[in-house]
Each structure stands twice: as C-alpha cells, then as structure tokens.
C-alpha cells in the first residue's frame, strides 16, 4: 500500500496536480492519538514515521523498538476503529547516526540490524541516510558522496533481505538523500542556510542508482520515490525561515524532469499554511513534521497546567511545569548543546523554544506521573468554559460548537490536530 499510494502521488505531481502527503514524525503517544483520531474522522490516509533516534533496536529515547512502536500505533488505531489500511508506517533517517562514533563496520552493522527490524515490523516507507562520518572515517574530510551511496545501497540490500522472510512485510519503498543541517532545528544563524544545489541532487541520484545496481537492487531502485533536499526552510530556537519559492526554482525545474521522483522536505515545522501549499506545488510532495506537533502538545499541556493553578490549591497541584524543568536540569544532555546564553535565557528556551527539546523528556517517569496527576485533577468535573476560553480559546470555540469534548485529553489532541489541518490543506486533502 505504501508504494502504491506514494506512486500515485508522484504520478499526480507529474501531471501538474498539487498533491502531497504529511509525514508525522513523532513517537509521542498523544501525537499518535491526535493523528490517528484525525484520520478516523476524515477517513484519510495517515503516514506515521519514527526516527532512528526515537525508535531502534536498543529502544531509542522513546524506549521503543520498531516492533513495539508499530504495535502501539496499531493498538491506538484499533481502539478508535481506524482500519489498518489507512495507516502507513515509515522510518526516518535510518542509518548509522545513533552509532556514528563507532567504527564504520560496527556502526553500519547496527544500522542494517535496525533497518531490518523496521521492515519486519511492517514499516513500508524507508528513508535511508548514511550522510554522516563514522568513527574511523577521516574527520578532516567531507564524506564522499560515492561512499555514502554505497552505504545506502548496503542498507537497502539489508532491507530487501528482511522482506525475503517467510512472513515478510510488503516490499518497502525508499527515500534517499538528506538535508543540511540535521533534523530537529538548526543551531546556526538564520542566514547560514543554503538551498541544495541542483548538481548535488543530480549526483546523489546518479551515484546512488549506480550503487544499487552494483548490489543487484534494480527492482528496489524502481521503488525509490523521493529524494531529500534542503528547499530553504528551517527553524531554530526562536525563528522560522519561511519557504521562498524563488530561491528553489532550480530544484523545482530539475525534479519536474525526473519521471519517477519527487522531493521530501524535512524541517517544515512552523511554516505558514501558504508556504506549505507552495512547497507541495513545487514538487515537495512529502512534508515532514515533528517538533511542531510536540510544541503544540506542550502548549496545550501548559495551558492545562495554568487552568489547574486557577482551580486547585497549591498542595493539590501536579506542578508539571516545575517538574519538567527539574528533570531537564538534572539530565541536560538533550538540550545543553542547543540552548545558549544566560541561565535565565536557557530557562526560557527549555520551556518555549521552537526546537522543543522537552520532547525528549516526556517519557521520564517523574514527568509522566505529574502529567497523569494533572489530567486526573482536571477530569473530575467539566472545565469551566470561561477558563478554557482564557487559555485554549480555539478549543473552547469547538467545545461550544459541539465539535469537541470538554476533556483535558481532547483539548490536547485538538491542539495537535490544528497543526495537521494546515498540512492536510497544503497536501490537497
């Protein structure tokens, strides 16, 4: 189903139709709930992706293996009566990134194991990314494109072998290439970003095709549907660089001449609705979004915490916001290299940065306990609509119109779905 759907999108793009698909790249259960509930409501297709850092054979920062992540998605879908035929699973940036400090042979061996685990778990859209230097690569040199292509082909071969099992999953389709900088938000100045050069895209396609042929993967190459490039969109701690169609016209003209390929755009988080629509119209048919969804979740949860402060005495509150910050300060590894400045500036970023490093801390036991208490505190009675109007006005309007249940989880899911609505509009749905 994955290849068929994406092939249909590619064909539509080649006939001038502005059609695309949103790639929901998150392992957070509430994001998954929001995305799947929205799909159930609209009876549309939903593409859920996990990254190599979120989900891998070692558990990733979500604590989930590919099989466990897939089971979680399917369980939520079954609970809301969403057919599995409406759910596609993808793997994002699958490659040696989590083990890049290790020697190449070892890192690539682990990456191959991860890719096979994804395929065996039923993930049918696989983005292969081997763009990073590994432990014994020359640190003084840029990784050669041909070497990256050979590594990509080796991982594709591992994926194809996983499909040869007796109980094999459907044959996967592939996305190649990578954007610069790495996903999750840039740490550089806004003006430093460069749109991918057309010659780099051409060479990526050519050398990767050659590498696939050398591995005997011509059939797999026919299932390569997209290439990742940098169209000139990015976000950072406190800024968003909006899409400039004029700056990407070279890329647009090039991919229009490729009969079987479209672009996949990463870091499209926080783009305006019109910018997302322009991207799809310019053949960036797969729009990746992740931190913007957990940012919306964080906003909604903080709004609920503010309501809790108004409704309950201090000794009964969850103190969720304070607990999250305590946990982040005790374990700064996920934000220390992203948030700079004075202690006060770092404290502000921990809460409100668009990079949303909070997303790494939701699985922590103390944070989960505080969140559970917050939701329990606010679920005893219907929330006063005057209070919901103060802190979540869009959700209040929908509650009054009978479109949304007056409950804390529904408020959170709806805030996330608002972001997805912009993407659905841009993708022609």
Residue 349 sits in a domain of what CATH number?
1.10.400.20
pLDDT in tens, 338-354: 999 999 999 999 999 99
Residue 424 lies in a domain: no
Residue 27 lies in a domain: yes
Residue 257 lies in a domain: yes
φ, ψ of residue 88 to 5 degrees: the values are -110, 140
pLDDT in tens, 296-338: 999 999 999 999 999 999 999 999 999 999 999 999 999 999 9
257 lies in the same domain as 319: no
Return the closest-CA partner of residue 230 out of 293, 182, 295. Answer: 182
Burial of 53 (0-12, 13-18, 19+ CB in 10 A): middle
The residue among 270, 289, 308 that closes a domain is 289
3-state secondary structure of 247: helix
The residue among 289, 321, 344 that closes a domain is 289
Residue 372 lies in a domain: yes
141 lies in the same domain as 185: yes
128 lies in the same domain as 265: yes
Return the closest-CA partner of residue 150 out of 100, 199, 96. Answer: 96
Give the pLDDT of residue 148: 95
CB of 21 closer than 8 Å to CB of 6 = yes
274 lies in the same domain as 311: no
CA atoms lying within 13 Å on the CB side of residue 93: 28
For the chain, what is the domain count?
2
Residue 82 lies in a domain: yes
Q: Where are the alpha helices (DSSP H) in 248-382?
A: 249-256, 273-281, 291-311, 320-330, 343-352, 365-378
Give the pLDDT of residue 139: 83
Residue 423 lies in a domain: no
CB of 228 closer than 8 Å to CB of 175 = yes
Return the closest-CA partner of residue 255 out of 3, 23, 14. Answer: 14
Return the closest-CA partner of residue 126 out of 205, 52, 207. Answer: 52
Give the pLDDT of residue 193: 80
Structural domain boundaries enclosing 15? 2-289
299 lies in the same domain as 285: no
Residue 132 lies in a domain: yes
pTM for the whole structure: 0.94
- CA–CA dist 114, 121 (Å, integer): 11
Mutual orientation of helices 29-42 and 408-426 as an angle, nearest 10°?
A: 60
List of the chain residues with pLDDT < 50 = 181-188
329 lies in the same domain as 282: no
278 lies in the same domain as 313: no
146 lies in the same domain as 185: yes
| Cis amide leading into 162 (omega within 30) | no
282 lies in the same domain as 334: no
75 lies in the same domain as 166: yes
3-state SS of 82-96? CCHHHEEEEEEEECC
Residue 16 lies in a domain: yes
Question: What CATH number is given to the structural domain containing 113?
Answer: 3.20.20.70
CB of 318 closer than 8 Å to CB of 375 = no
91 lies in the same domain as 220: yes
341 lies in the same domain as 263: no
Number of continuous H segments (helices) and E segments (strands) in the chain = 16, 10
CB of 346 closer than 8 Å to CB of 368 = no
Give the pLDDT of residue 1: 59
Q: Which residues pair with 288 in a beta bridge?
A: 23
The residue among 258, 289, 320 that closes a domain is 289
Q: How many other CB atoms sit within 10 Å of the CB of residue 151?
A: 25
């Amino acid at each position: 189903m994955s290849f068929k759907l994406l092939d249909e999108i590619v064909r539509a793009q080649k006939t001038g139709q502005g059609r695309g698909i949103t790639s929901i790249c998150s392992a957070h259960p509430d994001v998954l709930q929001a995305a799947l509930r929205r799909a159930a409501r609209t009876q549309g297709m939903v593409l859920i992706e996990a990254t190599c850092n979120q989900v891998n054979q070692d558990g990733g920062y979500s604590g989930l293996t590919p099989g466990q992540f897939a089971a979680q998605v399917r369980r939520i879908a079954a609970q809301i009566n969403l057919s599995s035929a409406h759910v596609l699973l993808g793997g994002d940036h699958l490659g040696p990134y989590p083990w890049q400090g290790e020697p190449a042979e070892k890192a690539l061996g682990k990456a191959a194991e991860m890719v096979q685990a994804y395929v065996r778990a039923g993930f049918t859209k696989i983005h292969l990314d081997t763009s990073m230097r590994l432990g014994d690569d020359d640190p003084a040199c840029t990784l050669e494109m041909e070497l990256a292509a050979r590594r990509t082909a080796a991982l594709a071969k591992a994926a194809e072998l996983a499909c040869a099992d007796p109980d094999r999953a459907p044959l996967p389709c592939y996305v190649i290439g990578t954007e610069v900088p790495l996903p999750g938000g840039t740490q550089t100045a806004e003006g430093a970003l460069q749109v991918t050069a057309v010659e780099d895209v051409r060479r990526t396609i050519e050398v990767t095709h050659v590498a696939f042929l050398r591995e005997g993967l011509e059939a797999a190459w026919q299932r390569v549907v997209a290439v990742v490039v940098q169209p000139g969109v990015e976000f950072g701690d406190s800024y968003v660089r909006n899409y400039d169609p004029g700056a990407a016209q070279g890329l647009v003209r090039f991919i229009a001449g490729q009969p079987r390929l479209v672009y996949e755009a990463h870091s499209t988080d926080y783009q305006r609705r019109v910018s997302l629509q322009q991207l799809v119209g310019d053949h960036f048919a797969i729009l990746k979004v992740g931190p913007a969804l957990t940012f919306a979740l964080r906003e909604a949860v903080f709004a609920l915490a503010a309501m809790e402060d108004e409704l309950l005495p201090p000794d009964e509150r969850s103190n969720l916001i304070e607990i999250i910050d305590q946990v982040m300060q005790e374990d700064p590894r996920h934000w220390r290299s992203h948030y700079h400045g004075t202690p006060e500036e770092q404290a502000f970023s921990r809460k409100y940065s668009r990079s949303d490093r909070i997303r790494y801390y939701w699985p922590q036991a103390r944070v989960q306990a505080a969140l559970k208490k917050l939701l329990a505190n606010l679920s005893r009675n219907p929330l006063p609509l005057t209070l919901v109007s103060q802190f979540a006005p869009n959700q209040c309007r929908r509650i009054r119109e009978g479109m949304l249940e007056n409950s804390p989880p529904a408020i959170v899911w709806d805030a996330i779905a608002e972001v997805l609505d912009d993407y659905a509009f841009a993708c022609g749905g």
